[in-house]
C-alpha cells in the first residue's frame, strides 16, 4: 500500500499541504521522533509529515533522532519518503534557489547513530544506489513541468555541523566531486534504505558555501532568506509529485 513520508527541513518544518489532518504522538525503541506525526492526504494519497528539526526548529543537526524518525514512518506504513533539505552549492552552475535531486552521498559525519543493526544481528546493507532513481526521475520530470530550475543525479556531502565549513574544507569537498553540502541527509537516507523505504531528497541550494571568492560566505540568515523566497516552489513540487507516485512501478528497493 502506498503511503508517503514527508520530512520537512529548514524553512519547511510545517508546510500546510495535507488535507484531513490529524496529529499523533508516537514512541519508538529509539525514543521520540523530532516532532508529532502530522497525518493526512494529498490528492487521495496518504501522507505523514515529520519536522526534522522540530516544529520550532530547535534541534540542531547531530541531535536529530534520525532512527526514531525513520522507524516511526516505517511503522506508520510509509513505503516512500521525500525529504526537503537546505544545501550549500559547491558548483558554479548550481545557483542559490536551484533545486537538486541527489543520487549519491559522501558521509563526513562522526558522531551519529547510522544503523538499526547495531545489536543482536549484523546486516551489511547494499548502498551503491542509496537514493531511489525512480523518485529522482519523477521529481525531475515534475520540476520541468513546473518550470523550476533543477539538477539531478548529483552528490551531496553531509557534514556534522552545526558549524559551517572552512574555505579549506569547502575546496576539499569540491575536489572530492561533491556537488552540494548539508548537515542532514546522512544517516537519514541510510536508515531509510535499511528499512527498505524508497527515499529521495528535494534539496534547495541556498548559498555557495564559502569556496566562491565572489560570494559572501554562508550564514544562517542567508539560508533562511533563500528558503523563504523559494519554499513555495518546493511545496508545489510536493503537491505535483506525490499524487503521481502511485503511477510509478518502483522496484528500486530489493
> Which positions are annotated as active-site residues?
207, 209
Q: Cβ-count burial of 253 within 10 angstroms (0-12 exposed, 13-18 middle, 19+ buried)?
A: middle
Distance (Å, rounded) from C-alpha 216 to C-alpha 73?
A: 38
CA-nearest of 128, 115, 25 to 75 is 25
Q: What phi and psi values does residue 251 have, to the nearest 5 degrees?
A: -125, 25
Report how far residue 39's alpha carbon sits from residue 55's, in angstroms, rounded to the nearest whole number. Answer: 15
Residues 6+ apart with CB under 8 A from 170: 90, 181, 209, 210, 211
Amino acid at each position: 500500500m502506498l503511503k508517503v513520508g514527508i520530512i520537512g527541513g529548514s524553512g519547511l518544518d510545517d508546510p500546510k499541504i495535507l488535507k484531513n489532518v490529524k496529529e499523533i504522538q508516537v514512541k519508538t525503541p529509539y525514543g521520540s521522533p523530532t516532532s508529532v506525526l502530522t497525518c493526512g492526504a494529498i490528492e487521495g494519497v496518504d501522507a505523514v509529515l515529520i519536522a526534522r528539526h522540530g516544529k520550532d526548529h530547535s534541534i540542531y543537526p547531530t541531535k536529530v533522532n534520525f532512527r526514531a524518525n525513520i522507524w516511526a514512518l516505517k511503522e506508520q506504513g510509509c513505503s516512500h519518503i521525500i525529504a526537503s533539505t537546505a544545501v550549500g552549492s559547491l558548483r558554479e552552475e548550481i545557483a542559490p534557489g536551484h533545486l537538486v535531486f541527489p543520487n549519491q552521498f559522501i558521509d563526513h559525519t562522526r558522531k551519529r547513530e547510522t544503523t538499526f543493526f547495531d545489536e543482536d544481528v549484523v546486516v551489511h546493507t547494499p548502498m551503491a544506489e542509496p537514493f531511489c532513481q525512480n523518485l529522482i526521475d519523477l521529481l525531475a520530470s515534475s520540476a520541468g513541468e513546473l518550470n523550476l530550475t533543477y539538477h539531478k543525479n548529483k552528490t551531496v556531502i553531509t557534514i556534522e555541523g552545526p558549524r559551517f565549513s572552512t574555505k579549506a574544507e569547502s575546496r576539499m569537498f569540491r575536489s572530492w566531486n561533491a556537488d552540494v553540502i548539508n548537515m542532514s541527509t546522512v544517516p537519514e537516507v541510510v536508515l531509510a534504505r535499511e528499512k527498505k523505504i524508497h527515499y529521495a531528497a528535494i534539496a534547495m541550494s541556498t548559498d555557495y558555501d564559502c569556496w566562491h571568492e565572489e560570494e559572501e560566505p554562508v550564514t544562517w540568515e542567508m539560508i533562511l532568506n533563500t528558503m523563504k523566497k523559494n519554499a513555495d516552489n518546493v511545496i508545489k513540487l510536493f503537491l505535483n509529485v506525490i499524487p503521481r507516485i502511485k503511477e510509478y512501478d518502483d522496484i528500486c528497493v530489493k
